[in-house]
Amino acid sequence: MSENEEKKKALIVSVSDYENLENLDFCKNDGEEMYTTLSNLGYDIPDDRKLIGNVQDMAVKKAIVDFFRSTSNNTTDTLLFYFSGHGVLDGYEGRYFATSNINSEIPEENGIAFEFLTQQMDRSSSRKTIAIIDCCFSGSAVPGVTGKGMSGEIEAEKLGREALSKQFKNSKGKCVLASSLSQRRSFNLPDKKMSAFTYFIVKGLQGKKESVDKEGYVTPEKLDEYVFSELSNFKELAQTPVRNLSISGRLSLAHYPNLAQTEKSQKENQENAKQGIWTDAKNAIHSATEEIKKNSEIDDFSEYAIDKVPVVGPIFLKLYEKSSLDEEEKTKQILKIFQYLNNIDEEKVEEFCKLLRKHRDDIMKDSQILGKLSDNPNSLLTYQKTPISKNSDNNVIPPKENSKNSDKKEIPTKGNFSEIYDTGVSLFMDNKFEDAAQSFDKVTKLNPDFVDAIRFKGRSLAALNRHKAAIFYFDKALQKIPNDIIVLFLKANSHFMLNEFENSIDCYDNILKIQPNNKVAIQKLNDLKKNTKGRFGRRKHS
């Protein structure tokens, strides 16, 4: 290896034995497992950077300084610091990693201040530093805890989490993944004898499919997502780890070329993530058509049915509202459009909806557009192939001038959440899934009950092959609307992509309980049973 070649180095501090605090036997296993995993991945970990068991404060301080400040470090080297052990607070905003000889009454005497670690990370010549922190906060080591038993432990870990967050979450240029579970809840995986957080960190580093990006790299972002998803499966462990992923540039913790997706598989997965949209559109259009037929004008329930049409439902409602015709006439026009959509195949529905959304701004300028679409809906489908001059009677949408930056969409940071949602959907339709997911995150922060944003967040993650996380968001959406067929289709597909065939079958079964004659669900369920015959035991289906 040449002198300037990128190296991976690690410092492991895992304290299990304490003089004044309760011992944490599982921390020894944490450290050994982390050491073995990182060593197998090619990380340089000499004996003086493997501090496990009884660990004194002077040894830790020297190791941290030598590790981050070594003159042999290059800017491209990856430096990974790992800590497992007690966390101690002093009641005066002081936050400390507990060494074996810490005095919890005066932790600054021989504890390792969180701030000391961040200072050394800042002063390192490496620009690729990451800290993975598995801090166990107990009531006896956290001043201000008033609860007893488990309530005291929960209170302690809350204060510990606040301490980790204050120190690491908003600091610039840091890459930090941290857990603040209490002692009773950290060690909560049967037969593993490890902290839950560290166990899943190790599994992720070892190349779990969900922790690897499309190029085969385990990045801090993918590792964080995987660990969060796994911890979410345990109600008693449910807690979002503290993380700060503000480091610039790419940081790879491990590489598994065999898990990299080919260009073909990436495209297939993105199509799978999208496949539910137009099936869902067809279902929703059919429901809306049946409701519109019953009325001479769009009533509240018909409006609700139209609004549920994915991607373009709100556009139809705006067109209806904009029309100057009387209620009965414009209702007839909407019905004609929906009957047309109801009778064409999914590919044509997809094309129609994409064009309608793409040219929405131009459409809204034409006060007679509803009538033009109802007279000749197919004109929208042929628009791009045979552009027509603006004064032509057959024209539906005037051609839009090309702009230098027409394909660039910026995510708004302020404004109405519905505008941010619209931006997210546009980004999703343009296959910009990472940006789309960020938009939907902003929407749910502004309006946590916006189910469509939660649904699209899951769909964006599925398109990025993050199916575990996608299922988490689909489940959140189903908690709000249990009979949401759109989400059940999407969830079934994500389970299928993870080879979780039984769970996929359950989703289709649930769809058929809601809509017994849903042809798409029937077909997919039959195909799934046929293709997975003999892979699992006999099942009963309703």
Residue 224 half-sphere exposure toward CB, CA atoms < 13 A? 20
| pLDDT on residue 470 | 86
To which residue do tokens 């489940």 refer?
475
Q: Is residue 397 part of a domain?
A: no
28: amino acid identity, one letter: K
pLDDT higher for 194 or 291? 194
Residue 94 sits in the same domain as residue 113? yes
pLDDT digits (tens, 9 = 90+) for 307-340: 777 777 778 888 888 788 888 888 888 888 888 8
Same domain? 370 vs 354: yes
Task: Give the residue, 159 or 38, on which the prediction is more confident.
Answer: 38
- pLDDT confidence bin for 407, thresholds 50/70/90: very low
In this structure, are 108 and 247 located in the same domain? yes
377 or 41, which is more confident: 41
Going from the C-alpha of 323 to that of each of 364, 395, 410, the distances in angstroms are 10, 18, 31
Same domain, 365 and 470: no
Mean pLDDT, residues 2-6 taken together: 61
How far apart are alpha carbons 212 and 348 in whole angstroms? 35
Cα–Cα dist 308/452, whole Å? 9
- Encoded amino acid at 97, one letter: F
For the segment 507-532, the average pLDDT, to the nearest whole number, is 84
Per the structure block, which two tokens stand in for 437?
A: 């997911």
> Final residue of a domain: which of 229, 259, 289?
259
Residues 273 and 212 in one domain: no
Let me know if residue 407 belongs to a domain: no
Measuring CA to CA, which residue among 197, 113, 141, 148 is closest to residue 23? 141
- Whether 38 has a pLDDT exceeding 90, the answer reads yes
Which of 42, 79, 257, 71 has its CA nearest to residue 176?
A: 79
Which of 399, 466, 519 is CA-nearest to residue 227?
466
Q: Where are the beta strands (DSSP E) in 90-168?
A: 95-97, 112-113, 128-136
Q: What is the mean pLDDT of residues 455-464?
A: 87
- Residue of 145, 56, 161 lying closest to 109 (CA atoms): 56
Question: What does the pLDDT read at residue 302?
Answer: 72
Q: Is residue 203 part of a domain?
A: yes
Q: In which band, very low, low, confident or very high, does the pLDDT at 542 lie, cut at 50, 70 and 90?
A: very low
- pLDDT score, position 45: 96
Question: What is the mean predicted confidence (pLDDT) over 256-271?
Answer: 69
Residue 137: left (phi > 0), alpha (psi -120 to 50), or beta?
beta
- Is 354 in the same domain as 471? no
Residue 310 placed within a domain? yes
**Strand, helix or coil for residue 103:** coil
Q: Pick left, alpha or beta for residue 100 (phi over 0 → left; psi -120 to 50 → alpha; otherwise beta).
A: alpha
Number of structural domains (the chain) is 3
For 478-501, write each residue's pLDDT tens digit: 998 888 888 898 899 888 888 888
Q: Is residue 390 part of a domain?
A: no
Last residue of a domain, one of 259, 280, 300: 259
209 and 306 part of one domain: no
Q: Is 216 left (phi over 0), alpha (psi -120 to 50) or beta?
A: left
Give the pLDDT mean for 26-51: 94
Q: What band does 382 get if pLDDT is binned at 50, 70 and 90?
A: low
What digits encode the pLDDT tens for the residues 101-112? 998 788 888 899
Q: Are residues 249 and 272 in the same domain?
A: no
Count of C-beta atoms within a 10 Å radius of residue 178: 25
For residues 192 and 272, state if they share a domain: no
233 and 285 fall within a common domain = no
Q: Let me know if residue 400 belongs to a domain.
A: no
HEC letters along 322-341: HCCCCHHHHHHHHHHHHHHH
CA distance 13 to 98: 10
On whether residue 412 sits in a domain, the answer given is no
CA–CA separation, 259 vs 424, rounded Å?
A: 29
User: Percent of the chain at pLDDT above 90?
Assistant: 19
Mean pLDDT value across residues 530-537: 58
pTM above 0.85, yes or no: no
Q: Which of 236, 259, 282 is the last residue of a domain?
A: 259
CA distances from 438 to 69, 435, 442, 534 (A): 36, 5, 6, 41
Average pLDDT of the residues in 508-524: 86
Per-residue pLDDT at 469: 81
Q: In the predicted model, what is the mean pLDDT of residues 516-541? A: 69
Strand, coil or helix: what is 80? strand
In tens, the pLDDT along 226-250 reads 887 777 666 555 555 566 665 556 6
Residue 468 has what pLDDT?
82
Encode pLDDT of 348-360 as tens digits. 777 788 788 777 7
Q: Are residues 324 and 225 in the same domain?
A: no
User: Same domain for 459 and 487?
Assistant: yes
Q: Residue 390: pLDDT above 60?
A: no
Residue 471 lies in a domain: yes
Rounded to the nearest integer, the mean pLDDT of the chain is 76
Which pLDDT band, with edges at 50, 70 and 90, does 273 fall under? low
311 Cβ contact partners less than 8 Å away, ≥ 6 residues apart: 277, 281, 353, 354, 357, 425, 429
**Residue 230's domain spans which residues?**
8-259
Looking at residue 54, which CATH number applies to its domain?
Answer: 3.40.50.1460
